[in-house]
C-alpha cells in the first residue's frame, strides 16, 4: 500500500509565516522529515503521534547523504503513511527537491508540492526594501553560492551576476562570497555596490547588516559563524536613500 508525500515549504523559520495548507498537512501527517531550519516552533504544528525525523544538511557539519534522505522518504511512504517532507523557505529553491521527486516517481508514490515563503522574499521584507525597483532593478536573480563540492560553482555567468541594474540574491554564499566578489569587480561591478547580509531571517536573533560588496568581503574573510544567511546586492540596497 502506497502512502502520500507532501513537500511543504516552511518559509524562513517563523511559524507565523506558514501557509494554512502547510499547517493542515503538518497536523495530519503521520511522519515528518524535516530540515534543520524547519524545526523549532514549526514542528509544534505536527500531530502528537507523528514520527519526527531530522534529515537536515548544514555546511561544515555532519549531514545525511541525499540518497539516504530520498530512500527514507520512499520507505515511510511505502508503509501507507501520510508523509510531510518539510523544507525551509520554498522547497523549489535550492532545496534538492528534484532528487526526492525522482525517487518517489520511480517508486510510484504520489506527491504534492506546497509552496512556502522564499527566504529571499522574507529577507527583503526584514530589511524593509523591495526586491525590484522601478527604473533601476527590473530583474531579480537567485544564485547558489556553492556547488556540490562546497566551492563556488565554476560555470557561472559572471556577466549576468555583475549587472548593476539587477537585484542578485546569493544563497549559501558566506564562505565563497569573497571569491565571487573578486570576479564581479573584475567584470565591472563597483566594489561600492550596496549589499546586505541577512542572517537568521525571521527569527528572534535575526541580524541585517547593510554594507557594500567590498565591506562584506572584509566581514566574510574572517570568522563567518554558522548562522544561515543570504547575501543581496544591487540597486535594492539603495532604497532607504532613494
Q: Catalytic residue numbers? A: 35, 57, 172
Assign 239 a pLDDT band (cuts: 50, 70, 90): very low
**Edge-to-edge strand ranges of the sheet holding 4-9:** 51-54, 31-34, 82-87, 4-9, 111-114
Q: Measure Cα distances from 148 to 11, 20, 84, 122, 236 in Å.
A: 23, 33, 25, 25, 29
Beta strands in the chain (DSSP E): 4-9, 31-34, 51-54, 82-87, 111-114, 139-144, 166-171, 194-199, 207-212, 229-233
What domains sit in the chain, N to C, each tagged with a CATH number?
4-114 (3.40.1010.10), 119-241 (3.30.950.10)
Q: Which residues does residue 32 pair with via DSSP β-bridges, in sequence order?
A: 52, 84
Phi and psi, residue 44, nearest 5° = -65, -15
Assign 240 a pLDDT band (cuts: 50, 70, 90): very low
- Measured from the Cβ of residue 56, the count of other Cβ atoms closer than 10 Å reads 18
pLDDT, mean of residues 169-183: 95
**pLDDT tens, residue by residue, 69-116:** 999 999 999 999 999 999 999 999 998 999 999 999 999 999 999 999
CA distance 154 to 145: 11
Give the list of residues 6+ apart from residue 238 with CB closer than 8 angstroms, or none.
136, 194
Q: What does the block give as the cell for 92?
A: 523549489
Q: What is the pLDDT of residue 2?
A: 77
Amino acid at each position: 500500500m502506497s502512502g502520500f508525500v507532501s513537500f511543504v515549504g516552511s518559509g524562513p523559520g517563523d511559524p507565523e509565516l506558514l501557509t494554512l495548507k502547510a499547517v493542515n498537512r503538518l497536523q495530519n501527517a503521520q511522519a515528518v522529515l524535516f530540515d534543520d531550519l524547519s524545526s523549532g516552533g514549526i514542528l509544534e504544528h505536527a500531530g502528537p503521534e507523528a514520527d519526527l525525523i531530522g534529515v537536515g544538511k548544514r555546511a561544515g557539519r555532519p549531514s545525511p547523504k541525499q540518497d539516504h534522505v530520498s530512500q527514507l522518504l520512499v520507505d515511510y511512504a511505502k508503509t501507507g503513511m501520510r508523509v510531510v517532507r518539510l523544507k525551509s523557505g520554498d522547497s523549489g529553491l535550492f532545496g534538492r527537491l528534484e532528487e526526492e521527486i525522482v525517487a518517489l516517481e520511480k517508486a510510484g508514490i504520489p506527491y504534492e508540492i506546497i509552496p512556502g515563503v522564499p527566504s529571499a522574499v522574507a529577507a527583503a521584507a526584514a530589511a524593509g526594501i523591495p526586491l525590484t525597483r522601478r527604473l533601476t532593478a527590473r530583474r531579480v536573480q537567485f544564485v547558489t553560492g556553492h556547488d556540490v563540492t562546497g566551492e563556488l560553482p565554476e560555470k557561472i555567468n559572471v556577466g549576468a551576476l555583475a549587472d548593476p541594474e539587477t537585484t542578485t540574491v546569493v544563497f549559501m554564499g558566506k564562505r565563497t562570497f569573497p571569491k565571487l566578489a573578486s570576479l564581479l569587480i573584475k567584470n565591472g561591478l563597483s566594489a561600492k555596490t550596496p549589499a546586505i547580509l541577512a542572517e537568521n531571517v525571521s527569527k528572534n536573533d535575526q541580524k541585517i547588516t547593510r554594507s557594500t560588496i567590498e565591506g562584506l568581503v572584509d566581514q566574510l574573510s574572517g570568522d563567518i559563524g554558522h548562522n544561515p544567511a543570504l547575501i543581496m546586492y544591487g540597486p535594492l540596497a539603495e532604497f532607504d536613500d532613494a
